[in-house]
Structure 1
C-alpha cells in the first residue's frame, strides 16, 4: 500500500493574520518586518512580491522596489494564537499530524483511502480551516513529504494539488532545483555553474559525483530530486520549555565566574532553540543560596532565539535576583512560552547582518559540534568543565 502524505501551508501567514484584524489591507502590498533602516522583511504579500520583494530582503531595498508598500512590525503572540487555532482543527480531524513550523503541517493519511478519498477528505478539511480560522491555506497530497511540500509551493496561493506515484517524476523533472527543500543558495550556485539547473538533470547525475561535490548532503539531495523520501510524519507534541542548571562544586560569590557561566548556558540553550525550530517569549532565572533558599524571577520579551537578546535578559534577571551577597550554590535558566519559528520571525527586530551571523554560526556548530564557536565571555567556563 502506498503512502498518502499531505503538506498544508498557510498562505502568507503573517500577512493573512494582519488582514483578519484590518480588512482594509486586503489587496494592498504589505511588508511584515523591522521598521528601521536596517530592518529585514519577515514576510510580504503577493502584491509586494510582484515588485520583486522577498523574505530576508532588507526593508530599505524592498521599499525601493515597492515604495507604495505598507510596513507592519508584526505581532508574534497573535500569530502564535492563530497557529494554535489551526493546529487544534488539524489534530481533531487527522490521524497523524506533524507541525513543521508556525504555518506548515504534514498529515499522514495512509490507509484512509479504503474509507475516504484522501484528496476529497483533505479538500474538505482545508475548507473547514478557511471557514473557522479565516486564514487561506494551500495543500498538496502525494507519496512523501518532499514531493507534497514541493507540490504545495506550486499550488499556492489558495491551491490544491495531488501528485500520484506515477506522476512524481513528470511533476518534478521540469522544476528548477531551487524548489528542492533544504537546497541552499551555496549549493544552487555550485550546481548552476556546471549547468545543473532543473531537477531532471540533477536526478540523472551519478549520486557518487554529487556526494563528492557537496558532501553527505549530496545523497539526500539526489534522493529528493528522484522523489525518494522515507522520512515519517512525526506526531506533534507541544513543547512547553527548555532549561539548564549548574550546581557549583564550591559555593561562590565570584560574579565574573557566574556571569561567564550565564553566557555559556544561554548560548547553548539558544542554539537548542534554533536547532529544534523554536522561539521563546519568557526567560526564567533561578538562584539557590548556600543555605538552600531558592528565588526565581521571570521576564516576558518579544519572541526570539538569539543569544544576544536572551543573554542580556538573563543578566538583567540575575542582577535583580542576587541581592543578598551570600554564596551561591546553584543557578538555573529556563525558556518558556515556546512557539515554532525560525530566523524569519526573528527578522521582526534584527538586521540582515545579525540574521546572517547566526546562520553562519549555526552552520559551523552543526558541522563541528555545539562548542565549535562560542563567545569569549563564556569560553572560560567551557574550558574548565
Structure 2
C-alpha cells in the first residue's frame, strides 16, 4: 500500500478489543484465556454484561445480555464489577502512546480514537506503522486492538470493525463497492437499528441501496442525518481529525435502573434528586450550563418515553435541575411502575459565554452557592462521589445512606477529565 491515498490523507482508527475485560486480564494474568465478563450490579437480578472477552463470546455471551442469561450460557464465566479508575488509566496510557506518533489524535471514547498520520509517514509504509502501533499496545500495555486504515474517518472506522481481535484492515475508497456496499445497512457506522428500520420502509436494505438512494428522499425521512449517511455510504467524509473534539459536549446525563420496579413517588423523587446532583456536579466540572432539561422514564413493560423542557434562563445547580426534572415527571408520569429514570442537561453552553437575566435576589443566591458547588466538586473529585451522601429518614428517625441506587454515568464522554 502506498503511503498516501488519493485524498492526500491517511487516517487510522484504533479500536481496543473487549477493552474493560482486556484491562482486567492485563491486571490479573490468571484470567487470560478464561471467559471473562465485566458487569454492572454483579449481585443484582438486573445486572447486565458491559463487555466480555472473546472466550466468553464463544459461548454466546454478548454485551447488554442479562447476567443470569450469560451465566446460563457459560456457567464458568468469571464476572467482575467495573473498575473505572483502572480503565481510565489504561486508556490514557494508550492515547499517550498514540500521541508519540502524531499530535493529531482524536479520542472518540475511552477505548477508540482516530489518528491522522499523513504528515508523519515520509519513508514509512502505513501498514508497517499500523503493525508497530498494534504490537506496542500489546507488548507495553498487554492490550489487544484492531486498526482500520483509510482516507477518511468513516471508512477507517468501518475498516477497524472488519477484523477482530488484533486485525489490521485497509479500506480504499475505490474498494467500497466490493467490500462495503454488500453489507446490511444496519452494519454501517452511524445507522442504528431504528434508523435501519426506517430505511427499510423505502426499500433500503444494504449499504449499496443507501449509496444509490435519492438523497432528498432519505433527508425527508431522517432529516439532516439522512443527507450525511448517504454521503458516508459513498465513502465521502471530509471531517478532520480534531484533537480537541473530546471536549465538545452537547449534553450531560445520568440514568439508573431501580432495584425493584416502583410507583412510590417519594422513592422516585429521591432517585431524581440523586440524578440531578450528579448531573449538576458534572456540569460544574465542565464549566457548562444548560437551558433544556430532559427526563427519561422506562416503565416495567419496557415502554420508554423522553420529555424535555426548554428553560427561560440557563441553569446548572442541583436544585434547579431537580425542579425542572420533577415538573416534567409530575406532568408526564402515568402512575405505572417505573424501571428506569434518567435526567439529562441539554443545549449546553460555556458558563462564561452564557447570559442570564438575573434580578438582585437570584444573583445573590447564585453567588452564595458557587463556593459550595466548588467545594463539593473538589471533595468528590478527590475522594469519590460517595464521600458526601444525602440521607433519608428510616423508621427509627435516623438517616441512612442511599446505597440502593446505582448511578450509570456517561463515562465514555468524560473519561479524560
Smaller-chain TM-score bracket: 0.5 to 0.7
Which of 120, 124, 131 in structure 2 is aligned with 1:123?
131
1:9 and 2:28 matched = no
> Residue by residue, what CA displacement relative to the aligned partner does 1:280-338 show, whole Å, maximum 9, x if unpaired?
xxxxxxx989999955234438999xxxxx8x998839xxxxxxxxxxxxxxxxxxxx9
Pick aligned residue for 2:380 from 265, 275, 300:
300
Q: Quick check: 1:169–1:227 contact (8 Å CA) kept in 2?
A: no
- Structure 2 vs 1, CA of residues 195 and 265 (structure 1 numbering), >3 Å: closer, same or farther? closer
CA distance in 2, matches of 1:340, 1:6: 24
Residues 185-207 of structure 1: CA deviation (Å, up to 9, x unaligned): 11122334555332112211111
Question: Which of 188, 206, 229 lines up with 2:214 in the alignment?
Answer: 206
Matched, 1:341 2:349: no
- Pick one of 241, 252, 271 that aligns with 1:233: 241
Greater shift in the superposed pair: 160-169 or 110-119:
110-119
For residue 114 of structure 1, report the CA deviation from its aligned partner. Answer: 3.8
Greater alpha carbon shift after TM alignment, 165-174 vs 7-16: 165-174
Distance change in 2, residues 1:313/1:10 (3 Å) = same
Matches of 2:192 and 2:83, distance apart in 1: 28
Number of residues paired by the alignment? 295
Q: TM-score, normalised by structure 1?
A: 0.66
CA distance, structure 2, for counterparts of residue 145 and residue 290 of structure 1: 44
1:18 is paired with a residue whose SS is helix
Confirm whether residue 182 of structure 1 aligns to residue 262 of structure 2: no
Residue matched to 2:111: 103
What are the superposed Cα offsets for residues 233-277 of structure 1, whole Å, 9 maximum, x if unpaired?
A: 11148869313689xxxxxxxxxxx8632636999xx7469999x
Q: What residue in structure 1 maps to residue 36 of structure 2?
A: 30
Q: Among residues 59, 71, 78, which one is paired with 2:79 in the alignment? A: 71
The 8 Å contact of residues 29 and 44 in structure 1, kept in 2 or not, is answered as yes
Structure-2 change in CA distance of 1:266 and 1:27 (3 Å)? farther
Shift of 1:6: 0.6
- 2:332 corresponds in structure 1 to none
Offset of residue 54 of structure 1? 2.2
Give the match for residue 260 of structure 1.
319
C-alpha contact 1:139 1:160 (8 A) present in aligned 2: yes
Which residue number in structure 2 is paired with residue 81 of structure 1? 89
Report the 3-state secondary structure (helix = DSSP H, G, I; strand = E; otherwise coil) of the residue aligned with 2:95: helix
Q: Which runs of 5+ in 1 are unaligned?
A: 247-257, 277-286, 305-309, 318-337, 346-385
Q: Counterparts of 1:82 and 1:52 in 2: how far apart (Å)?
A: 27
Counterpart mapping for 1:305-316 below 5 A? 316=390
How far the C-alpha of 1:51 sits from its partner, in A, is 3.3
Could you say what secondary structure the match of 1:9 adopts?
Answer: strand
- Aligned CA distance change for structure 1 residues 44 and 259 (closer, same or farther; 3 Å): closer
Aligned to 1:223: 231
- Separation (CA, whole Å) in 2 of partners of 1:133 and 1:8: 14
C-alpha distance in 1 between matches for 2:318 and 2:162? 50
Distance 1:76 1:294, change over 3 A: closer
- Farther off after superposition, 195-204 or 81-90: 195-204
Aligned mates of 1:274, 1:81 — CA distance in 2: 30
Greater relative contact order (Cα 8 A, min sep 6): structure 1 or 2?
Answer: 1
